[in-house]
Amino acid sequence: MTRQTYSTGSPWEPIVGYSRAVRVGNVVEVAGTTAMKDGEVVGVGDPYRQTAEILGTIREALEHVGAKMEHVVRTRMFVTDISQWEEIGRAHGEAFRDIRPVATMVEVKALIDPALLVEIEVQAIVPEE
């Protein structure tokens, strides 16, 4: 089976040794994604804005390996403050309202940068042609 990878050019990808997305056959996995753009946190203090930014980055990663948001079957959300679940959930719902993948949201102690509030990873399955 063919393995296809996509990297965003983040300085951490070669250091840590990961790709933003990997597609093997019709399965796509997108790595934990945060609201970082050009080395800066987008939406500092705003969980909704960070979630929307993350989902945009995930959409781009999926498209680079021939998948769409509609193909997402699972999301995992890691949040630093579970009391912000409604704002995070609202952004997630706007992206996935009609798709309705299974979803997990858990509170974690911290993410790689203290200004990051949310990290999301997804799995997608591209329909057979």
Given a cut of 90, is residue 30 above it in pLDDT?
Answer: yes
Q: What is the pLDDT of residue 39?
A: 86
Domain 3-125: assigned CATH number: 3.30.1330.40
Residue of 10 and 40 predicted with greater confidence:
40
Question: Given CA atoms 75, 80, 85, 86 in this order, what sign does their dihedral have?
Answer: negative
What pTM does this model have? 0.95
Q: What digits encode the pLDDT tens for the residues 38-91?
A: 889 999 999 999 999 999 999 999 999 999 999 999 999 999 999 999 999 999
Backbone angles phi, psi at 80, to 5 degrees: -90, -10
Q: What is the pLDDT of residue 128?
A: 85
Domain coordinates in residue numbering, the chain: 3-125
Report the distance separating Cα 46 and Cα 73, nearest Å. Answer: 26
Q: What digits encode the pLDDT tens for the residues 97-111?
A: 999 999 999 999 999
Q: What is the pLDDT of residue 1?
A: 81
Report the distance separating Cα 93 and Cα 84, nearest Å. Answer: 14
Backbone angles phi, psi at 75, to 5 degrees: -125, 145
